[in-house]
Amino acid sequence: MSVVLQAARPTAPTVPADVAAHALPAPAASCLPALVGTGLPVPLVDGTTVAHANLDLAASAPALRSVADRVAALLPYHASVHRGAGYASTVCTAALEWARTTVGRFVGARSDDVVVFTRNTTDALNLLAGAVPGAVLCLDVEHHANLLAWRGGEHRVLRAAATVDATLAQLRAALEARPTALVAITGASNVTGEVLPLAEIADLAHSHGARLVVDAAQLAPHRRVDIAATGIDYVALSGHKLYAPYGTGALVGRRDWLDVATPYLAGGGAVVRVDAVGDGSPAEVTWTAAPHRHEAGTPNVPGAVALATACEALDAVIDEAAPAHERALSERLDAGLADIPGVRTLRIWHDAPDRVGVHSLTVDGYPAALVAAYLSAEHGISVRDGKFCAHPLLARLTGWAEGAVRASLGLGTTAADVDRLLAALRTLVTDGPGVAYECVDGRWLPTADGRDTDPLGLGIGDEVTGAGRSCGH
Rounded to the nearest 10°, the torsion over CA 138, 143, 145, 147 is 30
Phi, psi for residue 384 in degrees, rounded to 5: -110, 145
Pairing type for strands 2-5 and 437-440 reads antiparallel
Would you tell me the crossing angle of helices 301-315 and 87-106 to the nearest 10 degrees?
40
**389 annotated active-site:** yes
Side-chain-facing half-sphere of 247: CA atoms under 13 Å: 6
Q: Indicate which residue of 92, 138, 389, 439 is catalytic.
A: 389
Phi, psi for residue 136 in degrees, rounded to 5: -120, 140
One DSSP character per residue, 51-72 reads E-EE-BTTT-PPPBHHHHHHHH
Please return the burial class of 354, using the count of CB atoms within 10 Å of its CB with bins 0-12, 13-18 and 19+. middle
- Among residues 335, 322, 353, 333, the alpha carbon closest in space to that of 406 is found at 333
Q: Residues 257, 132: contact at Cβ < 8 Å?
A: yes
Contacts of 131 (CB under 8 A, 6+ apart): 257, 258, 260, 261
What residues act catalytically? 389
